[in-house]
């Protein structure tokens, strides 16, 4: 490991530079580029998982809402149709929201995992 000595005049008129070759010898640190790349690499997988889960949640929520709305005024006769229509409407909305949320969580997971590995040396 090399120590980097910087002279400290009373008033600095500009920032001093450090050569990247000097930084290569310093142990520790965090490579932000690696963190960002790891996060980006996990977006697609997170979006796929989130879309699947979100679609299922949207179908269930849409089915419940559709069944309740259609079934109440018809004393239960419109429940089945309402459930199916609500599920059909809820699935794409849930999948869209789930994919966006899943992609974001995938990025955070990938970036955090990489950063933790760099910090702990694992």
Tens-place pLDDT, residues 22-32: 766 666 678 88
SS3 51: helix
Flag whether 56 is in a domain.
Answer: yes
CB under 8 Å to 84, separation ≥6 — which residues?
Answer: 63, 66
Per-residue pLDDT for 2 more than 80?
A: no
Flag whether 101 is in a domain.
Answer: yes
With helix as H, strand as E and coil as C, how does 13-25 read? CCCCCCCHHHHCC
Flag whether 83 is in a domain.
Answer: yes
Domain extent, residue 104, equals 33-120
Domain count within the chain:
1
Flag whether 61 is in a domain.
Answer: yes
Flag whether 27 is in a domain.
Answer: no
Flag whether 38 is in a domain.
Answer: yes
Question: What pLDDT, on the 0 to 100 scale, is given for residue 90?
Answer: 86
Flag whether 6 is in a domain.
Answer: no
pLDDT, averaged across the chain: 81
C-alpha 94/C-alpha 74 separation (Å) is: 27
Per-residue pLDDT for 72 more than 90?
A: no
Flag whether 13 is in a domain.
Answer: no
Per-residue pLDDT for 47 more than 90?
A: yes
């Amino acid at each position: 490991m090399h120590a980097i000595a910087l002279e400290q005049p009373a008033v600095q008129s500009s920032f001093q530079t450090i050569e990247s070759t000097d930084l290569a010898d310093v142990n520790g640190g965090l490579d932000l580029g690696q963190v960002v790349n790891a996060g980006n690499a996990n977006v697609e997988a997170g979006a796929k998982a989130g879309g699947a889960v979100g679609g299922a949640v949207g179908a269930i929520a849409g089915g419940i809402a559709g069944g309740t709305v259609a079934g109440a005024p018809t004393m239960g006769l419109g429940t089945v149709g309402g459930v199916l229509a609500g599920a059909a409407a809820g699935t794409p909305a849930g999948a869209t929201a789930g994919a966006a949320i899943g992609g974001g969580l995938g990025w955070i997971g990938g970036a955090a995992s990489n950063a933790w590995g760099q910090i702990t040396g694992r």
